[in-house]
Amino acid sequence: MSDPRLTPLAAALPADTPFVGIDTLERQRGAPFAARLGANENGFGPSPAAIDAMRGAAGDMWMYGDGESHALRHALGDRHGIDPAHIVVGEGIDGLLGTLVRLTVAPGDAVVTSLGAYPTFNYHVTGFGGLLHKVPYRGDHEDPGALLACARETGAKLIYLSNPDNPMGSWHPAARIEEMIAAVPPGCLLVLDEAYADCAPPGAIPRMDPGAGEVIRMRTFSKAYGLAGLRIGYAIGPRPLISAFDRVRNHFGVNRMAQGAAGAALADDAWLAQVLGRIESSRAEIARITAACGLTSLPSAANFVAVDCGRDGDHARRVLAELAARDVFVRMPGAAPLDRCIRISCGPEEDMARLAKALPGALEAASR
Amino acid sequence: MSDPRLTPLAAALPADTPFVGIDTLERQRGAPFAARLGANENGFGPSPAAIDAMRGAAGDMWMYGDGESHALRHALGDRHGIDPAHIVVGEGIDGLLGTLVRLTVAPGDAVVTSLGAYPTFNYHVTGFGGLLHKVPYRGDHEDPGALLACARETGAKLIYLSNPDNPMGSWHPAARIEEMIAAVPPGCLLVLDEAYADCAPPGAIPRMDPGAGEVIRMRTFSKAYGLAGLRIGYAIGPRPLISAFDRVRNHFGVNRMAQGAAGAALADDAWLAQVLGRIESSRAEIARITAACGLTSLPSAANFVAVDCGRDGDHARRVLAELAARDVFVRMPGAAPLDRCIRISCGPEEDMARLAKALPGALEAASR
């Protein structure tokens, strides 16, 4: 039964959520997973400096955090060589996407994304009454030309693109993205989700040009920086758009400790470099483990690898279920043809060993 | 300049924010405050068990938190003797109010509150296009009868009432609130902000009856529990309304560490009792300090005291500014006649001593 006081928009929304969380899945199955390789978390962990910052700040949590995340925004400005006025900090990219959609998408407005791309973005668009247009991937890459064409055709307010891509791990060179930004139609905005930018090879990430009015870029401390539990990310964009966040955002919504820990993590370049090395090794290890079972892994610029299970989505879903039955948590894309793949997060060696042990039996069971 | 891609609603919103944060104020004045008595934070601090929980969990922050806050919701259900299906956990009451308004207030819908009541609630209502109707306080209390009459007259979707009241510290007995709940008009919902409920005297807080469809109650770990920096609160209400939060909320927006620390704080009854004793002493101390300067403090059921400065809002604003010039941070109500008062948060003895030292000079300077 729906509450009779809901707005017509809220009353019409589906009850399903974009993701069933890992804790919920564990409760449903009645046991924890042994290998947590499904949420693209960073099992290599955050910088020890970030951990120290958290421990040191625990006694201060009676104070509200800085509503402007001033220190962190200035550190980020220094890091990216941009004015902090182009940066807004929020409760992870998920939170920032919600606020952005609220600011730009009125009921009935068109929004363009790729078929099989990030479900939480779609959730926010639907939640504010936007109409989603979904463009197919091309060769396991999001298709900038087709996304732009669809945006022109539909008069879209937003185009969503992740680079590197989630869930496929593919990426475009910076020049291709810069061409895309230059071609965004008037009145439209490119939402460039760069959650995995830190993991990407040189040449995949466009230079910072936050004065350009056609793009907003989303970054997070949840992936390479290993701080998913703290819920902190940021957006970089043109000043009029960034300042508009202040009209609707939950000003004191960013956890005080998260601001400090993110700053400490940002300053620890050595730890990040070490983690990125381990992510690269783990990508190679996932490729080896899956190749040993006759599967093809896709090239990845992220902290996960999409692995082609060689048949259709039903088969891949069986593989995923059989891995779960063997205590290995992975996820998979939600739409064909991407859903021939499962998506395996990078992780420590012991998790890779669990994957290697579980995969042959899971494949055999899934093929029966 | 406003971004041309904003929705008509977003484009029309004012750029001002409900509160200028303490960190922002400190940057503006170029110095920290010596006594932080303006945000109703709890300077007595959180339970040592909560601090231990934070420190112990710091290394786990690479994992996302539980999107359902299952453990905390069950602990809260046990505490209140209700089914956890009646509880949703969110990023503080501010975050929960935003989500509630989004679910229930469409552009043009009427909403009723009191003139001078919580600005952040008004901010959310305006942000979703609702039309605020403001009812005067009566004798420094919110006026249930007038709020209900206004709601009937305007066909309001929501009535906001805080008990104990912020900013005045006044309260109604539970029976009065229960009568009000019983009289909420059809199609309307009472938003009962109980941020300060833990500080209230016996008999001020209605019994839990979450099956009643006319009220949603908001609670927080920011005040008596001393965890404002973690951003965690919860709402208790009828199941169809609580489950509707899942249609729009940021499912993984609640910090993982906040869930654990809140659970630890909730379990430490001895610490809470000790803090409540110190809050009570501090209220008395604020009354003594202000009486010594010839001011009248209002009775309070919260962790702050409204102090009547004896003249108009301009005078109270001068007192506030002069206190700030003496490094003592307090706030004050935003509307007449409440704004004859300043609002002083309870705090440790050293902060009370700073207040006692600063107040005579501040009053003298304000009266010149």
Q: Give the model's pLDDT for residue A104.
A: 98
pLDDT of residue A18: 87
* Contact call for A66 and B17, based on CB within 8 A: no
Residue among A3, A66, A229 whose CB faces B61 most closely: A229
**ipTM rounded to 2 decimals:** 0.97
Q: What number of other Cβ atoms are within 10 A of residue A209's Cβ?
A: 15
Residue B211 phi/psi, 5-degree rounding, is -75, -20
The pLDDT of residue A64: 97
Taking 90 as the threshold, does the pLDDT of residue B212 lie above it? no
| pLDDT tens-digit readout, B294-315 | 999 999 999 999 999 999 999 9
Helices B119-127, B92-104: inter-axial angle, 10-degree rounding: 40
A27, burial (CB in 10 Å: exposed 0-12, middle 13-18, buried 19+): middle
pLDDT of residue A2: 79
Q: How many CB atoms lie under 10 A from the CB of residue A338?
A: 24
Mean pLDDT of chain B: 97
In this model, does residue B213 exceed pLDDT 90?
no
* Cβ atoms A127, A120 nearer than 8 A: no
Task: Decide if B230 and A127 are in contact by the 8 Å CB cutoff.
Answer: no
The secondary structure element, H or E, covering residue B132 is: strand B131-135
Closest CA to A12 of B106, B80, B21: B106
Q: What mean pLDDT comes out for the span B352-358?
A: 98
Contact criterion met (CB below 8 Å) for A5 and B157: yes
Given A55, A62, A252, which is nearest B45 (Cβ)?
Answer: A62
3-class secondary structure per residue, chain A: CCCCCCCHHHHHCCCCCCCCCHHHHHHHHCCCCCEECCCCCCCCCCCHHHHHHHHHHHHHCCCCCCCCCHHHHHHHHHHHCCCHHHEEEECHHHHHHHHHHHHHCCCCCEEEEECCCCHHHHHHHHHCCCEEEEECCECCECCHHHHHHHHHHHCCCEEEEECCCCCCCCCCCHHHHHHHHHCCCCCCEEEEECCCHHHCCCCCCCCCCCCCCCEEEEEECCCCCCCHHHCCEEEECCHHHHHHHHHCCCCCCCCHHHHHHHHHHHHCHHHHHHHHHHHHHHHHHHHHHHHCCCCEECCCCCCEEEEECCCCHHHHHHHHHHHHHCCEECECCCCCCHHHEEEEECCCHHHHHHHHHHHHHHHHHHHC
For B68, name the nearest residue in chain A, comparing CA atoms only.
Answer: A24
Half-sphere exposure of B242 (CA within 13 A, CB side): 24
**Residue A131: half-sphere exposure toward Cβ, Cα within 13 Å:** 9
**Is residue B313 within a helix (H) or strand (E), and if so which, with residue range?**
helix B313-325
Among chain B residues, CA nearest to A213: B3
Q: Which two tokens stand for residue B70?
A: 């299952």
pLDDT at B40 over 90: yes
Distance CA A247, CA B10 (A): 8
Distance CA A325, CA A218 (A): 35
Which residue of chain A has the CA closest to B40? A63
- How remote is the C-alpha of B63 from its chain's centroid? 30
**pLDDT at A212 (0 to 100):** 83
Residues in chain A within 8 Å Cβ distance of B8: 106
Regions in chain A scoring below 70 on pLDDT: 1
> How far from A12 is each of A107, B86, B187, B241, CA to CA, in Å?
12, 21, 17, 14
Of A5, A19, A229, the CB nearest to B257: A229
Q: How many Å apart are CA B304 and CA B229, to the nearest integer?
A: 18
Cα separation of B91 and B233, whole Å? 6
- Which of A63, A104, A258 is facing B41, going by the closest CB pair? A63
Contacts of A45 in chain B (CB under 8 A): 59, 62
A243 interaction partners in chain B (CB closer than 8 Å): 15
Structure confidence at residue A56 (pLDDT): 98
Q: How many CB atoms lie within 10 A of CB B22?
A: 22
- What residue in B sits closest to A237 (Cα-Cα)? B3
Residue B1's pLDDT is 63
Chain B residue nearest residue A189, CA to CA: B5
DSSP-assigned beta bridge partners for residue B160: B191
Of A42, A95, A227, the CB nearest to B250: A95
Alpha-carbon distance B35 to A205, whole Å?
Answer: 46
Distance CA B281, CA B36 (A): 17
C-alpha count within 13 angstroms, C-beta hemisphere, residue B153: 11
Confidence label for B158 from pLDDT (cuts 50, 70 and 90): very high
**C-alpha span between B251 and B236 (Å, rounded):** 17
Q: Please say if the pLDDT value at position B247 is more than 70.
A: yes
**Euclidean distance between CA atoms A24 and B247, whole angstroms:** 17
- Mean predicted confidence (pLDDT) in B355-363: 98
- Which domains can be identified in chain B, with CATH numbers? 8-45+270-367 (3.90.1150.10), 48-268 (3.40.640.10)
Instruction: Say yes or no for a CB contact (<8 Å) between B62 and A55.
Output: no
Q: What distance in Å separates residue A364's CA from the closest CA in chain B?
A: 30
Say what the pLDDT of residue B17 is.
Answer: 82
CB-CB under 8 Å, A58 with B250: no
Burial class (CB in 10 A: 0-12, 13-18, 19+), A256: buried
The DSSP symbol for B204 reads S
- How many Å separate Cα A361 from the centre of its chain? 30
Residues of chain B contacting A60 with CB distance shorter than 8 Å:
229
Contact A64 B104 (CB under 8 A): no
Distance from CA of B239 to the nearest CA of A (A): 9
Backbone angles phi, psi at A219, to 5 degrees: -130, 165
The pLDDT tens digits of the residues spanning A221-261 come to: 999 999 999 999 999 999 999 999 999 999 999 999 999 99
Residues of A with CB below 8 A from B27's CB? 70
**Residue B18: pLDDT band by 50, 70, 90 thresholds?**
confident
Q: What angle do CA A344, A348, A353 make, to 5 degrees?
A: 75
pLDDT at A67: 97
Per-residue burial over B36-64, b if 16 or more Cβ lie within 10 Å, else e, is bbbbbbbbbbbbebbbebbbebbeebbbb
Dump pLDDT digits (tens) for B87-146.
Answer: 999 999 999 999 999 999 999 999 999 999 999 999 999 999 999 999 999 999 999 999
Helix B92-104 and helix B239-248: axis angle, to 10°?
Answer: 100
Residue of A162, A203, A154, A207 whose CA lies nearest to A182: A207
Closest-CA distance, A247 to chain B, in angstroms, reads: 5
> Do B282 and B302 form a contact (C-beta atoms < 8 A)?
no
Angle between helix A119-127 and A92-104 (nearest 10): 40
Contacts of B19 in chain A (CB under 8 A): 67, 251-252
- Which region, left, alpha or beta, applies to residue B116 given φ > 0 means left and ψ of -120 to 50 means alpha? left
The proportion of chain B whose per-residue pLDDT surpasses 70, expressed as a percent, equals 100
- Look at B51 and A59 and tell me if their CB atoms are within 8 Å: yes
Say if the Cβ atoms of B61 and A230 lie within 8 Å: yes
What per-residue confidence (pLDDT) applies to A1? 63
Look up residue B141 and give its DSSP letter.
Answer: B
Interhelix angle A70-80/B22-29, nearest 10 degrees: 70
Alpha-carbon distance B139 to nearest alpha carbon in chain A (angstroms) = 31
Would you say how long chain B is, in residues? 368
Cβ distance of B5 and A257 shorter than 8 Å: no
Q: Is residue A45 left, alpha or beta, with left meaning phi > 0 and alpha meaning psi from -120 to 50?
A: left
